[in-house]
Structure 1
């Protein structure tokens, strides 16, 4: 069973679609965006920093997650990469 995860930071969100527990997954990207952003706080209190190209704007993240939940797949206009 696939799981959808979204980690929201100050300026963007990391959206992941995981292929079962511990399995490889996919994540949304915004290719070519330089730098990195911090402020991603995980449920265990860990503070993470992610490359900006591995995150998407928050509004886009909500649209992607809504589509995945509603239809079970990435939106056709979303950019994503496989983490395999």
Structure 2
């Protein structure tokens, strides 16, 4: 069975990999900087952005520390990662990726269930 993904607080209808980047852009444009997707197999995919960089995390199940995309050469840190509960986070830039790269990563995970082969990520388990 192919894994399908839905946006947690939107429609229960699965989102395709082709439309997920635009759905994320639309949410960011409306000020929703945190988005969670849930797969039919129970995995979760988090996308949190400050509109320039994004934290992308893939979790196997509830309570899993998961894994997240990284940008090993990045220097410094960035703030403005506002969660839906109002919490405003700051992350080292090496633990986030440019937003266009984040869209690509999410699209690939929704399409195949896996990180792109050229992506860099860290397992936090």
Given the two structures, how large is their TM-score scaled by the length of structure 2?
0.65
- The alignment status of 1:47 with 2:117, answered yes or no, reads no
TM-score computed with the length of structure 1 as normaliser: 0.95
More strand by proportion, 1 or 2? 1
Task: Give ranges in structure 1 of 5+ residues lacking alignment.
Answer: none
Gaps of 5+ in 2: 1-41
Q: Which residue of 1 aligns with 2:58?
A: 17
Do residues 62 (structure 1) and 103 (structure 2) align? Answer: yes
The Cα of 1:11 is off from its aligned counterpart by 2.1
Alignment partners' CA distance in 1, 2:116 and 2:45: 13
**Deviant stretches of 4+, over 3 Å:** none
Where relative contact order (Cα < 8 A, 6+ residues apart) is larger, the structure is 1
- Residue-pair matches, total: 84
Q: Please, what is the CA RMSD of the aligned residues?
A: 0.8
Which of 1 and 2 has greater Rg? 2
